[in-house]
């Protein structure tokens, strides 16, 4: 049975929103525990941890509108429960649940219950408790819930076209997030390279690895310890680490290929061309050349390409609410 465009779109965004909530929880948790590091003090020219977090998530313009400060309390509230922030954890999960509701008939009961419980659990959370030492528990609940969701998706859904769209959404978001996490190092240091190789530098890279659950895997495979080149290589180019940019983009391409199998060549090629371009660069890039030509520029470029993939997918396959494209599709079918 052919899949409704709207259903495909909702599944894509369901994957993205749950992943976004999980990543926000991971980043918050790492930032929160970073406070206890004595080395995280008094770096000239650098942003504080909380400011850097807002910049990493791309929310700085909206956040610094004059009503908030870069304090822990304000940032935590903004990123966890704030309804004003459309990408706070609760907002993301509310969007995820709404997307899931709109495709209720399509999801297995297990997936639906996982999303629904995750939403109810986070929406019920009390901001005062979160601020009073409850942040770890809150973030942990979100992470666990997201894992349960991912497990239900892999273990109970029919591995059909809809499943591939959901995976594609999840992978786009995960890929985008890893570029932001690595890039946050740039914002923390504000290009002041004096600290490279210092304890602060090592601590920060370690924290980034933890935020993608990569620390343990990294130290096991890198006896040389935590240093810039190795970490960047691991988080951006390593094909075996499931949250590296390369692994995410390869999984994204695979999901898109499966989801669009048998579709008209023109819309399909538009999607796959952009996604494959990025994969190829990641496959044949070396960490040395990448750092030499500018890590920040590279990551910026990757984010733009990921956005272009989403645009191409929307234009070619998620067209249920846009009349202009119907004619083209009718002819194509």
Partner 1 sequence: MDRVWESYDWGAGYDELFEAPGTPRAHARALIEALSRMDTADIEERKRRAELAMLNLGITFTVYSESSGVERIFPFDLVPRIIDGEEWTRVEQGLKQRVLALNHFIQDVYNERKIIDAGVIPADVVYNSPNYEQAVAGFTPPNAAWAHISGIDLVRDADGTLYVLEDNARTPSGVSYVLQNRILSTRTFPSLFAEAEVQRVSDYPRVLHDAVRTLNESGPAVVLTPGIYNSAYFEHTYLAKQMGVQLVEGRDLAVRGGRVLMKTTRGMIPVGSVYRRIDDDFLDPETFREDSMLGVPGIFQVYRSGGVALVNAIGTGVADDKSVYPYVPAMIRFYLGEEAIIPNVPTYRTAETKAREYVLAHLRDLVVKPTNASGGYGVVIGPQCDEQELATTAAQIRENPDGFVAQPLIRLSTCPTLIDGKFVPRRVDLRPFIVFNGGEPWVLPGGLTRVALKEGSFIVNSSQGGGSKDTWVVNGTS
Q: Is 265 in the site for partner 1 (CB under 8 A)?
A: no
Smallest distance from the beta carbon of 248 to partner 1, in angstroms?
A: 23
Q: Is 270 in the site for partner 1 (CB under 8 A)?
A: no
| For partner 1, the closer CB: 247 or 259 | 259
Given 33, 35, 104, 273, the residue binding partner 1 (CB under 8 A): 104
Q: Is 117 in the site for partner 1 (CB under 8 A)?
A: yes
Cα dist from 79 to 54, 57, 120, 170, 238, whole Å? 9, 10, 17, 20, 30
What is the spatial distance between Cα 245 and Cα 51, in angstroms, rounded to a whole number?
24
Smallest distance from the beta carbon of 112 to partner 1, in angstroms?
A: 6
From 119, 65, 46, select the one nearest 78 (Cα to Cα): 65
Residues 156-195 touching partner 1, rule: CB under 8 A, are 161
Smallest distance from the beta carbon of 1 to partner 1, in angstroms?
A: 7
From 286, 31, 331, 14, select the one nearest 181 (Cα to Cα): 31
Cα dist from 136 to 63, 93, 126, 129, 255, whole Å? 23, 18, 13, 11, 33
Letters for 307-326 (x = contact with partner 1 by CB under 8 A, - = none) are ----------x-xxx-x--x
Given 102, 228, 269, 279, the residue binding partner 1 (CB under 8 A): 102
Let me know how long the chain is: 333
Residue pair 196/39 in contact by the 8 Å Cβ criterion: no
Residue 108's φ and ψ, nearest 5 degrees, are -70, 155
For partner 1, the binding residues (CB under 8 A) are 1-6, 8, 98, 101-102, 104-106, 109, 112-113, 116-117, 120, 161, 259-260, 262-264, 317, 319-321, 323, 326, 329-330, 332-333
């Amino acid at each position: 049975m052919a899949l409704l465009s709207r259903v495909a779109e909702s599944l894509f965004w369901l994957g993205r929103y749950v992943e976004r909530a999980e990543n926000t929880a991971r980043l918050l948790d790492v930032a929160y525990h970073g406070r206890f590091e004595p080395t995280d003090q008094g770096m000239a020219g650098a942003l504080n941890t909380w400011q850097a977090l807002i910049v990493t998530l791309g929310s700085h313009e909206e956040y610094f509108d004059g009503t908030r400060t870069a304090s822990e309390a304000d940032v935590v509230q903004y990123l966890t429960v704030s309804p004003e922030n459309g990408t706070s954890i609760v907002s993301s999960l509310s969007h995820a649940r709404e997307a899931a509701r709109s495709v209720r008939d399509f999801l297995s009961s297990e997936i639906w219950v996982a999303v629904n419980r995750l939403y109810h659990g986070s929406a019920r959370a009390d901001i005062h408790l979160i601020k009073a030492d409850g942040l770890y528990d809150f973030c942990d609940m979100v992470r666990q819930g997201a894992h349960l969701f991912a497990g239900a998706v892999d273990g109970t859904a029919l591995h059909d076209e809809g499943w591939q769209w959901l995976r594609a959404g999840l992978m786009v978001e995960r890929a985008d997030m890893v570029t932001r996490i690595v890039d946050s190092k740039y914002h923390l240091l504000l290009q002041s390279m004096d600290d490279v190789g210092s304890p602060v530098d090592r601590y920060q890279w370690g924290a980034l690895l933890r935020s993608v659950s990569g620390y343990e895997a990294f130290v096991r495979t890198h006896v040389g310890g935590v240093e810039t080149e190795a970490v960047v290589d691991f988080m951006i180019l390593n094909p075996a680490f499931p949250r590296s940019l390369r692994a995410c983009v390869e999984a994204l391409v695979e999901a898109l290929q499966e989801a669009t199998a048998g579709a008209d060549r023109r819309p399909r090629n538009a999607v796959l061309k952009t996604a494959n371009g990025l994969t190829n660069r990641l496959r044949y890039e070396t960490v040395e050349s990448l750092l030499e030509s500018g890590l920040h520029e590279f990551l910026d470029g990757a984010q733009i390409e990921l956005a272009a993939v989403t645009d191409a997918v929307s234009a070619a396959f998620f067209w249920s609410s846009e009349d202009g494209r119907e004619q083209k599709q009718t002819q194509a079918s």
